[in-house]
A and B are shown apart, each in its own frame.
Chain A
Amino acid sequence: MQTEPYTKLYLSEHYGNEAFRTLAGYEAAGGFQGLRAALARDPEEVTELVKSSGLRGRGGAGFNAGLKWSFMPKGDERMKVLVCNGDESEPGSFKDRMIMQQGPFQILEGLLIAAWATGARRSYIYIRGEYQYPIQCVRKAVAEMYDKGYLGRDVFGEPGFEHDIVVHSGAGAYICGEETGLLESLEGKKGQPRKKPPFPAQHGAFGLPTTVNNIETFAHVPYILSRGVEWFRGFGTEKSPGTTLFGVSGHVERPGLFELPLGTPLREVIAKAGGVRNNRALKAVIPGGMSMPVLTPSDLDVPMAEEFLSERGTHLGTGGVMVMDDTTCMARVACVISYFFRDESCGQCTQCREGTGWIHKLCERIEAGRGRPRDLELLESVPALMEGHTICAFADAAAWPIKGLLRHFRSDFECHISEGSCPFPESFEL
């Protein structure tokens, strides 16, 4: 992993600086000013402030973070819980890993601010099991906080403000990124998502009132408090303020992370990554992690913010931008994508369990040149049976990219069926 993004703004300003990963270094760089500013205000005021900053969740759905905090019940006797989602398993996403490694205290400060605002007594940071090193980094940061007396009782000298943070390792299951799958997993069960309602704010981890936010979402929060809403809104768009760490992968000269304001045109994001490699032409871009429908070169001017991407039938998701050049066979891409979703379906809902299997079987058959004339119609009909008919959004995530590929690259699939072979000899190998 890079130690710092290729382009930096406020979030990653100090990444790559070894000291920033220590408590002393973090404080020297202005750390905990956001928390101190929060503690000087009433909790409700802090929630209102974060709400008015327009900070949207960076875990995929883009929900207003402050608004979510305001759903936590008031005057409820039960312990309240925060969950920080560090499962980061959406293919194409690798930003949370960098934050955990380079700015672990930003996450902890964000959690404490949220704890103050919502009255939460405990936080669980759920990190995917494969992230052995990021887990170490976050654990070390938490331990330093305890040593210094920054966690536990009377946090930052605020009498009665108690908070504990527990780092919890996942064990390899994509579905545990979905918030209720994560909660089940945290409870020591299979990570099978729950029916909603009840929502986590009413019935979350261990049945307690819970707020779930993404790692990056928490990491932005301190800056809103320390520098103000106005300042924060100076980055990004009206509806999607702030920056994000775009992760560019695939066929570019310089893959990696880039901190840029939300709303940066897709063309510019790709240009920062050195453009398409070997001077090839661009064929397709998946803009927000693998679950998001594909874009084509005609979309290059789209500002990378949810409100503009949704107009084009896709989403910002996690900001994982996958670039594919003109050698790429889209039937092959469909094979890889559908394999993943077939493998990772939790098996709970029939439409999803069976549908992901059918889609993969069809994609494989078509890619291998054994497709039948009616296969494309079939491939189009399966997603429609899945979308919106299941407990969680995994089925939609599995259906969308296939629909997108068929919408924009139907001829790639048709060729395989009519010719019985792949027309892209230079395509990446399967």
Chain B
Amino acid sequence: MKPETRKKIDELFRHYPERRGALLPAIYLVQEEFGYVGPEAARELAEIFEIAPVAVWEVLTFYNMFYTEPQGRHHVYVCTNLPCSLRGARPLIRCLEERLGVHAGETTADGRITLGHEECLGSCGTAPVMRVDGVYHENLDLERALAIVDQLD
């Protein structure tokens, strides 16, 4: 990892009575640098945190927002939980699957987009919703969802 990333991790420690408290924020920093946290980066984190590599791996694989493999350049996640489903989320995600030629959970062959479905995003009052590269798009209809996805480079 870059020295800047390492430096940012070191700055986190003072916020936690035990070093390990900084592990989740540190994983975010590493993921920001590489797009995912592979075995190599996980070992490096384990050294920094003075814990077993498997302890880092356990954490990485427990949380939905950490990736242990390379992802598409863009992340498109559609909420399919009940309130969103009641307002048309399922036809919406199927439509995106068709447009992108992948199933939810897969990445397009050109590495452009990873499509996924997600559980409730806390946006049920403005359903259906999708999260694109971390940003919420709410009150969606098919047309707008397609337009948003089409313009991702």
A and B assemble together? yes
Measured CB to CB, the residues of A under 8 A from B are: 1-2, 79, 88-94, 96-97, 128-133, 166, 168-174, 185-191, 206, 208, 247-251, 255-257, 286, 290, 320, 322, 324, 328, 333, 336-337, 340, 343-344, 346, 428-430
Tell me which residues across on chain B come within 8 A of A328, comparing CB atoms. 86
Tell me if B21 counts as interface (CB < 8 A to partner A).
yes
Name the contact of B65 in the complex, choosing from A1, A130, A337 (C-beta under 8 A). A130
When C-beta atoms are compared, the residue in chain A nearest to B15 turns out to be: A166
Name the contact of A188 in the complex, choosing from B59, B123, B136 (C-beta under 8 A). B59
CA distance A336 to B86 in the complex (A): 10
Residues in B18-46 with C-beta less than 8 Å from chain A: 18, 20-25, 27-28
Are B123 and A168 touching (Cβ within 8 A)? Answer: no
Are B125 and A190 touching (Cβ within 8 A)? Answer: no
CA distance A90 to B59 in the complex (A): 22
15 of the cross-chain contacts (CB-CB < 8 Å) are: A1-B136, A128-B122, A130-B65, A130-B118, A168-B25, A172-B66, A173-B62, A187-B18, A188-B20, A191-B62, A249-B83, A257-B125, A340-B81, A340-B119, A429-B90
Are B136 and A169 touching (Cβ within 8 A)? Answer: no
Name the contact of A249 in the complex, choosing from B88, B125, B134 (C-beta under 8 A). B125
Tell me if B91 counts as interface (CB < 8 A to partner A).
yes
Tell me if B58 counts as interface (CB < 8 A to partner A).
yes
CA distance A189 to B134 in the complex (A): 23
CA distance A2 to B121 in the complex (A): 15
Measured CB to CB, the residues of B under 8 A from A are: 15-18, 20-25, 27-28, 49, 58-59, 62-66, 80-83, 85-88, 90-91, 118-127, 131, 134-136, 138
Tell me which residues across on chain A come within 8 A of B24, comparing CB atoms. 168-171, 185, 188
Known contacts A89-B120, A188-B59, A337-B82; decide if A206 and B21 are in contact (CB<8 Å): yes
Name the contact of B125 in the complex, choosing from A88, A169, A248, A336 (C-beta under 8 A). A248
Interface of A is mostly: loop
Are B125 and A251 touching (Cβ within 8 A)? Answer: no
When C-beta atoms are compared, the residue in chain A nearest to B51 turns out to be: A188
Starting from the known contacts A91-B119, A322-B82, 11 additional A-B residue pairs (CB-CB under 8 Å) come to A94-B122, A94-B124, A129-B65, A170-B63, A171-B24, A172-B64, A187-B20, A250-B82, A255-B126, A256-B125, A428-B85
Tell me which residues across on chain B come within 8 A of A93, comparing CB atoms. 120, 122, 124
CA distance A187 to B136 in the complex (A): 28
CB distance from A284 to the nearest CB of B (A): 11
CA distance A170 to B49 in the complex (A): 19
CB distance from B139 to the nearest CB of A (A): 9
When C-beta atoms are compared, the residue in chain B nearest to A131 turns out to be: B122
